[in-house]
Homo-oligomer: A and B are copies of this chain.
Amino acid sequence: MQHPLSLYNTLTRKKELFTPVHAPFAGVYLCGPTVYSEAHIGNARGPVVFDVLTRYLRHLGYTVRYVRNITDVGHLESDADEGEDKMAKAARARHIEPMQIAEQYANLYQRHIEVLGCLPPDIQPRATGHITEQIQLIEEILANGFAYEVNGSVYFDVPAYNAAGRAYGKLSNRVVEELLAGSRDNLAGQDEKRSAADFALWKKAAPEHLMHWPSPWGEGFPGWHLECSAMSRKYLGQLSDIHGGGLDLMFPHHECEIAQSQGSHSHSDEARIWMHHNMITVNGTKMSKSAGNFVTISELFEGTNNTLSQAYSPMVARFFLLQAHYRSPVDISDDALQASRKGYRKLMNGLRLLDKLQLPEGVAPDADTEKGDAELRKLVADVFVGLNDDLNTAKALANLFNLVRKFNGFFANLATLAAVSKAALDEATTAYRTLVVDVLGLVDEPRANAEDLLALTLGFYQEAKTSKDYGKVDQIRAALKGQGIIIKDLKTGIDWAYEE
């Protein structure tokens, strides 16, 4: 497969040409949500970016297997393997079973991500659905000497791992000694760990813990980092092509995943390319549940967040998430969303023009369209240049607007289409549709509201009756009947009912 797509790899700190392990197959894994409460719009950035990534890989001809997991156990309140399980805590607060919490929020997340235009992942595995696989992974790490059991819990042994020449810290550029120095105090109360850099693979379940499974070390539950290593291996093999998530997952989550994979089966880093997207900020501060400054996806769609003055549609939100390069932070605000709405509608109006770009009858094409064709092809090529440069959707969109401007110019005076060949024009309009709809996933979101238009139409009906324009009365009756709606002339006014 010949293409110039390069992606920035956090592990090597440079942009690399994308060359999958087993072309034409491409295995992609995105760390999904912990489903203990409603997601905020910052949580949607990963799915939207990876949706465009996988759409683009498919456009390039790859057979993609895209895995996005759901975390429904093991994610504790603190990254230091302490505190209550987030799922169990939410369940306890509402006096229901943790799996009811998981079901509710996994459904909500899936629906939101879907209306944001994301195609469903090929596999959406759950942590609780892979307990067996996680236990197997721990057994392998134990057998390799990189973990130890204490009182029914199992911890990854970071010093032993590094002593064996591996490099815990290489993804996030951390030095274990510094980690230890910085976190000495944190070891208080965690005396099961031999080193503060160690992390839990399996935790013994306290008697009051709602979620637990049998294991060779007694009843317990898996550590949070373990699931992704186990599920990535199960569905994408020992070395996948791309593994991603937010910058906040780089450490400890992804660092631990690499250690688990290296420490169990092989010397592979679990994935060749590690991609990290930047955060959404609100007034310059990272959006986060713990900080309390977040806009949930429902609030954005319904206009019920105090930070924003109005509602924004799913496609406007998608455009907003794509108008910046994924590695840049993005600040959410009315201004930014209104600019996104303008941009989105410009692209949609562009789509509506494509079929209308026809040389008027009687106008002949120019004898030489070489220059015009080259210009048009350059505009299209520039959009791909943006995508190929580390999936820079900001550049790609800017270049799409140049293309729209060109189309608008043609449409304003169709005779100017004489400057380009039909072939070049067809190429450009096809590419535009492919880029906007298939790759960026921006589709038409009808603006017209049927209920309002029905009221308007009934108003016209009333007028026609008053002015005794029976031709129009019949026309409107027939048009609505075609939609299964019967107009009722009541003593009290005009009403309608469904045709029975």
Contacts and interface: CB of A to CB of B under 8 A. Distances in A.
A327 interface: no
B448 A498 contact: no
A457 B456 contact: yes
A396 interface: no
A374 interface: no
Contacts of A449: 450, 483
Contacts of A124: 103
Contact of A103 (B123, B213, B447, B480): B123
Contact of A65 (B65, B100, B349): B100
A345 interface: yes
Contact of A448 (B120, B136, B451): B451
Contacts of A452: 479, 482-483
A479 B451 contact: no
A129 interface: yes
Interface in A326-346: 342, 345-346
Contacts of A129: 126, 128-130
B131 A97 contact: no
A348 B479 CA distance: 21
Contact of A352 (B100, B213, B497): B497
A185 interface: no
Interface in A98-154: 99-100, 103-104, 107, 120-126, 128-132, 136
Nearest to A486: B349
Contact of A214 (B107, B136, B483, B500): B136
A345 B97 contact: no
A83 interface: no
A97 B123 contact: yes
Contacts of A179: none
Contacts of A120: 103-104, 107
B132 A235 contact: no
A31 B369 CA distance: 66
A454 B136 CA distance: 60
B103 A498 contact: no
Contact of A97 (B65, B446, B483): B65
A476 B457 CA distance: 10
A126 B127 CA distance: 12
Interface in A53-106: 65, 96-97, 99-100, 103-104
A125 B99 contact: yes
A122 B103 contact: yes
A460 interface: yes
B450 A484 contact: no
Nearest to A345: B498
A282 interface: no
Contacts of A482: 452
B123 A484 contact: no
Given A99-B235, A103-B123, A500-B346, A483 B132 contact: no
B448 A497 contact: no
Interface of A: 65, 96-97, 99-100, 103-104, 107, 120-126, 128-132, 136, 213-214, 235, 342, 345-346, 348-349, 352, 446-454, 456-457, 460, 476, 479-480, 482-485, 497-500
